[in-house]
Amino acid sequence: MATLNRNGVNLHYVDDGSGPAIMLTHGFAAASQMWQGQMEAFRDRYRVIAWDMRGHGQTDSPEDPADYSEPATIADIAAILDACGVESAVIGGLSLGGYMSLAFNLAHPERTRALMLFDTGPGYNNPKGREGWNQFAIRRAEAFETQGLASLGDSAEVRAARHRSADGLAKAARGMLTQRDASVIQSLPSIDKPTLVVTGANDQNFLAAHSYMSEQIPGAMNFLIADAGHAANIDNPADFNAAVETFLGSLPD
């Protein structure tokens, strides 16, 4: 375990293994622990870096709501790569982490060797769709504000997490889970990096996004993972890791 202080916010991350770097970002209300199975599977050949986003896990929960945003998350990823001495990496994540991985590539294509998008979506072209998503995010925030950590739920990736602050999760929902524009989804056809799209076959809320990203991103490799829901890497790690292995093995040196 390691900690990076960025402008007064302590970011918790894990840096394990050796070889080409992979940077993994968890989903909302999850934490870096959700990647333990991938750390164990790939650390003998790859350097796997996973971190806790603001308000999550062991990372700080700043008081100022303005400290929770998509740009701040992108800058945090870049800062952790800098702290690890990594110029470019395979950038991947699940759910919110997958969206942030797409946003990172849009901001820092020179630091993105490839993309891995797990059980995630690219946002919305339709403002009404975005507003519906944002209302969902605000409801999540309100649940943490009124019920505390009892509102976490019991999904696989959430059960793997250990959080310190319900207030931090509420602020993350308001500032990071909500979306502001269509820039990420509109970037899909211009992505020129090898891309992997993986979704649990039972993850009904993200199957349409899986198909859309697979079609819109040029040359994307995609897999549906049987007997898996939203946390495909935890629900069926053997098939999930095999898909990742196939993709990583296809990357140019």
Q: Chain centroid to CA 15: how far?
A: 16
> Alpha helix (H) ranges present in the chain?
36-42, 70-83, 96-107, 127-147, 156-159, 166-172, 183-186, 207-216, 232-235, 237-250
Residue 253: predicted pLDDT = 81
Residue 1: predicted pLDDT = 81
User: Which residue type, as a one-letter code, is found at position 10?
Assistant: N
Residue 155: predicted pLDDT = 85
Instruction: In whole angstroms, give the CA distance from residue 49 to residue 114.
Output: 15
Instruction: In whole angstroms, give the CA distance from residue 150 to residue 94.
Output: 22
Size of the chain in residues: 253
Residue 127: predicted pLDDT = 97
Q: Domain span at residue 41?
A: 2-250
In order of 53, 150, 192, 211, the CA distances from 146 in angstroms are 22, 10, 44, 36
Query: pLDDT (tens digit, 0 to 9) for every residue of the chain, 253 residues total?
Result: 899 999 999 999 999 999 999 999 999 999 999 999 999 999 999 999 999 999 999 999 999 999 999 999 999 999 999 999 999 999 999 999 999 999 999 999 999 999 999 999 999 999 999 999 999 999 999 999 999 999 998 888 988 899 999 999 999 999 999 999 999 999 999 999 999 999 999 999 999 999 999 999 999 999 999 999 999 999 999 999 999 999 999 999 8
* Overall number of domains in the chain: 1
**Tokens representing residue 133 in the block:** 């998503």
* pTM of the full structure: 0.97
**Tokens representing residue 116 in the block:** 């891995």
- C-alpha radius of gyration, the chain, whole number: 17
- CATH no. for residue 242? 3.40.50.1820
Classify 8 in phi/psi space as left (phi over 0), alpha (psi -120 to 50) or beta: left
